[in-house]
Amino acid sequence: MAPVVRNKKLAPGGQADDIARRVSESFKAVSRLPSHARAKILADVSSRIEARAEDFARGISREVSKPLKESRREVARAVFTFRWASEEARRVEGDLLPLDIDPGGEGRLALTRRAPRGPALFITPFNFPLNLVAHKVAPALAVGVPFALKPAPQAVGTAQKLLSILRDAGWPEDAAAPADLPVPEAEALVRDERFSILSFTGSAAVGWHLKSIAGKKRVLLELGGNASVFVAKDADLEWAAKRTAWGAYYYSGQVCISTQRIFVDEPVYPEFKETLIQRIAELKTGDALDEKTDVAPVINEAAALRLEAWIEEAKSAGGKILAGGRRRGLLLEPTLIEGVPPSCKLAAEEAFGPVATIEAVPGTAEAFRKMSESRYGLQAGIFTRDLKSVLEAWDELPVGGLIVNDIPAYRSDAMPYGGVKDSGIGREGVRYAMEEFTELRTMVVKA
């Protein structure tokens, strides 16, 4: 049997040890910052990002090949995320519970408050290099949690600009340590007992591995999925087609809640399919810095070759390409495939590319059964005017979020966000992450 690797401090003297030491030593000071000071810093960060919005957007597009209009949208969301966290920083509240509910509690009161758990380690992906970082950093600032940040290697520049803004806004430098480290050293930080929180966004394989070595930390994992949508026979088909085309292919499908599996009620399948193909044809492919581009090249050659292989597998298994299907270097055409068997990777795994499958189903019950047949459970969408179907979906679909009359790719930065099954554990969204980063402390007072 392999020896158990226990959670422990790093050997002194290395870069990783220095990061862990500086962050942990900053905890006492930042955890005691008053809420008004934390709120002021967060508001300042939001304003500074807004003032440099175009610089951030173009930097994101250059680093990770995100279409410029999507990069601008991401920056605007990050501005909101920090601004909302500034407001939430003033609302870290507790409870007062009278204990005279039983005779032994007469004359006593219980008071609760939320206290920061300790220093955090944040590991973030390439696809939203500003706003997904913001969803970890902003709640940390709101509750007084220092952190180390390991950004995706493709997006180090965006992370560095954000950390510089944090320092300029008054957040202590040692309480926001960059950790652009090789994998072995990053894993050593995951094991290090000086970190009380690990928040990771990325692939399921990596996320569950990190959880297995994280020891006693509070672990939050946002791991993606192969999101599904159901278009019922009473849906607004034009709206559903327009949103599904965008939701499946924006940022080349490199979004964890990208619409990947499309199920359509049999009576409206021909009409919806035709409309969807028309909407897909309207998408513009090209360079990320082109103002008109909807679908840009994917992140690297390995991703392009993998997606091409998955498309070929689906074709060989009987899938019919209705749109796209071709690759030119790193650029894949927006691809829609009909009749993909459930054993194929495009049906069972996370594509993380501009590829979606479509299938007719004989009604709501079968749609929900097929949507549930996934090891992932992040978000799902349903287009219908039938309230009964909506409530059934909310009961039956094993997902963290159900989006009604829109695509699973919809997310408000204020709402709780996270998945079940292999899509992860814990919740993001500013207030909900603040709860994850803190713990309840109770005090009982006798008169």
Which residues carry out catalysis? Answer: 222, 256
Q: Which backbone phi and psi does 56 adopt, to 5 degrees? A: -60, -45
Task: Give the closest residue to 413 by CA, choosing from 428, 437, 429.
Answer: 429
> What is the rounded distance in angstroms from the CA atom of residue 425 to the CA atom of residue 266?
35
Q: Which positions ≥6 away from 209 have C-beta within 8 Å?
A: none
Tokens matching residue 198: 């690990």
In one-letter notation, the amino acid at residue 236 is D
- To 10 degrees, what angle do helices 183-191 and 204-213 make? 50
> Using alpha carbons only, what angle is made at residue 299 by residues 133 and 359, rounded to the nearest 5 degrees?
95
> What is the rounded distance in angstroms from the CA atom of residue 404 to the CA atom of residue 382?
5
Q: Which positions ≥6 away from 83 have C-beta within 8 Å?
A: 42, 43, 46
| Residue appearing with tokens 């992450």 | 433
Tokens matching residue 289: 């810095």
Contact 214, 5 (CB under 8 A): no
Task: Give the closest residue to 256 by CA, choosing from 378, 79, 420, 400.
Answer: 378
Report helix, strand or coil for 406. coil
Task: Give the closest residue to 295 by CA, choosing from 337, 249, 254, 343.
Answer: 249
Tokens matching residue 217: 């930390």
Q: Which backbone phi and psi does 323 adopt, to 5 degrees? A: -155, 145
DSSP-assigned letter for residue 374: S
> What is the rounded distance in angstroms from the CA atom of residue 406 to the CA atom of residue 244?
8
> What is the rounded distance in angstroms from the CA atom of residue 83 to the CA atom of residue 57?
18
> What is the rounded distance in angstroms from the CA atom of residue 413 to the CA atom of residue 431?
10
Pairing of strands 228-231, 147-150: unpaired
